[in-house]
């Protein structure tokens, strides 16, 4: 039976196997505002007068100078002072997708703030692709940077510039950059059509580079003992090519990209049905994004992507015979490896986006003996959101600055060191160690930062040293912006 013929059927008690906590009232508008504000704390470059996280100041103003190019701006992706192009591009894509998918749910002020956050990234990404067939993929030496604990305003480690140029491959970072620029072009289409056109033109050009020189950026570099001097794509570059093509199709409506997705799907691993979504692996996101073409655009030859998206959704449902996603005892999606909340926020985003596509076409997902509708997917997403905001065994919000109890000792240099505005004296590389090793709370609140999160047993020790749990990242927050926007407009959905 074709999936498209399945009528909407919503089991009411689909998630009873997961524990229930007495849910507190969550102020989703406040959480959304803080999630967006976090990005101001990650800014590199010359800060504007309306900067809200006031303990930050200008940094990285000489970035690019050693190659006679302006590479100022952009974001530090986590608690260090490196600008990694690959996760920054993914962050940008997810912020833009948040606007595209859920922008109508955002209060006007927060929509404006989100567009500002996107533009802080895209202005930088445009600089990184400003030279023909060359991409500047990173600024800063991570080995030197990670050996120091110093404020971005003080950093005196080498601002090494990493590049890739033809004919060397970089389909992973180039494909993601193309996706980021294409998605962002859609986000700016109504408010700034000229800027939107600039983003789209560059997206097309960068994608062509990605496709012409197929391979991973890490293939060009010396990786020893499994250690990368940057963000390596350990899951292959193929997914980024499909991801970039899918976003260019969405942004241009050009059938050429539909043909690319169809003709290259098998070669690029679309049939592998990998149930992952994050900066390193786009497969589940590709399937959800492309499924919109099948569900709403009646592009029937893309049905395999819809089938893979359905399969992914079924893995998230405890009652499904194909369920295999691990949950903590408290009900949080858990994947080993650290920075776990990146999985919870990206998966929650996909649940809500797919629920939207199903609802518009009155469809459900066939998970063997049960049928799963949009309400059930939204319920699953809401559980993850509410867990992060405080409905968990620790009774802790994992968003800094939200609620009465949140992590005080996050693994973040600028937050943990005295602000340059309070302590203008230079703090050298090793002089910051006293603050790193201190048991005192961080002096500066990085409002809105979502940390890596608790362990598989729901425990969280609030330890700055344990970076796997206590370090925030831009790619945790970016999908959470869209998720929170949905619940701002639908706070009681599902009831």
Cα gap 306→432, rounded to integer Å: 51
From the candidates 77, 110, 172, 462, give the one annotated as an active-site residue: 462
Cross-strand partners of 59: 45
Contact 31, 449 (CB under 8 A): no
For residue 134, the surrounding DSSP H or E stretch is strand 134-139
Cα gap 92→82, rounded to integer Å: 16
Cα gap 272→276, rounded to integer Å: 11
Integer angstrom CA distances of residue 200 from 57, 180, 181, 188, 344: 32, 10, 6, 10, 30
Crossing angle for the helix pair 85-102 and 171-187, nearest 10 degrees? Answer: 30
Crossing angle for the helix pair 85-102 and 474-489, nearest 10 degrees? Answer: 10
Virtual torsion, Cα 435, 440, 446, 450, nearest 10 deg: 110
Task: Reply yes or no on whether 411 is catalytic.
Answer: yes
From the candidates 239, 280, 386, 471, give the one annotated as an active-site residue: 471
Cross-strand partners of 43: 75
Cis peptide before 268 (omega within 30 of 0): no
Show Cβ contacts of residue 9 under 8 Å, excluding neighbours closer than 6 positions: 364, 371, 373
Integer angstrom CA distances of residue 227 from 13, 18, 174: 46, 37, 21
Helix spans in 213-302 (H)? 238-252, 255-264, 283-297
**Structure-token match 């993914």, residue found:** 90
For residue 202, the surrounding DSSP H or E stretch is helix 193-212
From the candidates 283, 343, 411, 412, give the one annotated as an active-site residue: 411
**Phi–psi pair at 296, nearest 5 degrees:** -100, -20
Task: Reply yes or no on whether 471 is catalytic.
Answer: yes
Cα gap 411→431, rounded to integer Å: 16
> What amino acid positions are annotated as catalytic residues?
411, 462, 471
């Amino acid at each position: 039976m074709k999936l498209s013929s399945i009528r909407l059927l919503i089991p009411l008690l689909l998630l009873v196997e997961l524990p229930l906590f007495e849910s507190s009232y969550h102020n989703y508008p406040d959480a959304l505002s803080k999630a967006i504000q976090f990005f101001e704390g990650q800014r590199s470059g010359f800060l504007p007068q309306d900067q809200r996280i006031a303990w930050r100041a200008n940094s990285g103003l000489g970035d690019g100078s050693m190659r006679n190019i302006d590479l100022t701006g952009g974001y530090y992706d986590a608690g260090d002072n490196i600008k990694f192009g690959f996760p920054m591009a993914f962050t940008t894509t997810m912020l833009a997708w948040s606007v595209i998918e859920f922008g109508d749910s955002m209060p006007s002020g927060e929509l404006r703030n989100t567009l500002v956050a996107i533009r802080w990234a895209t202005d930088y990404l445009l600089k990184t692709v400003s030279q023909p067939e060359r991409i500047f993929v990173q600024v800063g030496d991570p080995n030197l940077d990670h050996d120091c604990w110093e404020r971005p305003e003080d950093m005196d480690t080498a601002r090494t510039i990493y590049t890739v140029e033809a004919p060397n491959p970089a389909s992973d970072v180039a494909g993601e950059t193309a996706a980021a620029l294409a998605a962002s072009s859609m986000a700016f289409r109504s408010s700034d059509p000229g800027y939107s056109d600039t983003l789209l033109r560059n997206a097309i050009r960068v994608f062509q580079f990605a496709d012409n020189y197929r391979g991973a950026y890490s293939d060009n570099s010396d990786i020893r003992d499994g250690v990368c001097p940057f963000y390596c794509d350990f899951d292959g570059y193929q997914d980024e090519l499909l991801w970039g093509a899918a976003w260019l199709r969405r942004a241009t409506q050009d059938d050429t990209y539909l043909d690319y997705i169809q003709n290259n799907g098998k070669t690029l691993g679309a049939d592998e049905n990998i149930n992952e979504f994050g900066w390193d692996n786009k497969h589940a996101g590709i399937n959800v994004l492309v499924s919109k073409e099948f569900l709403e655009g009646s592009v029937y030859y893309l049905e395999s992507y819809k089938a893979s998206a359905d399969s992914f959704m079924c893995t998230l449902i405890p009652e499904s015979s194909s369920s295999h996603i691990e949950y903590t005892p408290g009900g949080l999606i858990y994947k080993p490896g650290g920075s776990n909340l990146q999985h919870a926020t990206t998966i929650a985003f996909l649940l809500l986006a797919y629920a939207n596509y199903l609802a518009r076409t009155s469809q459900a997902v066939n998970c063997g003996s049960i049928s799963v509708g949009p309400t059930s997917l939204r319920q699953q997403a809401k559980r993850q959101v509410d867990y992060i905001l405080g409905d968990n065994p620790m009774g802790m919000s994992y968003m800094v600055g939200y609620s009465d109890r949140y992590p005080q000792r996050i693994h973040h240099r600028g937050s943990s060191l005295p602000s340059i505005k309070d302590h203008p004296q230079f703090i050298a590389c090793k002089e910051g160690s006293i603050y790193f090793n201190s048991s005192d709370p961080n002096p500066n609140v990085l409002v809105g930062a979502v940390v890596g999160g608790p362990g598989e047993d729901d425990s969280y020790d609030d330890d700055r040293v344990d970076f796997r749990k206590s370090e925030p990242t831009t790619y945790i927050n970016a999908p959470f912006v869209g998720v929170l926007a949905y619940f701002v407009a639908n706070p009681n959905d599902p009831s």
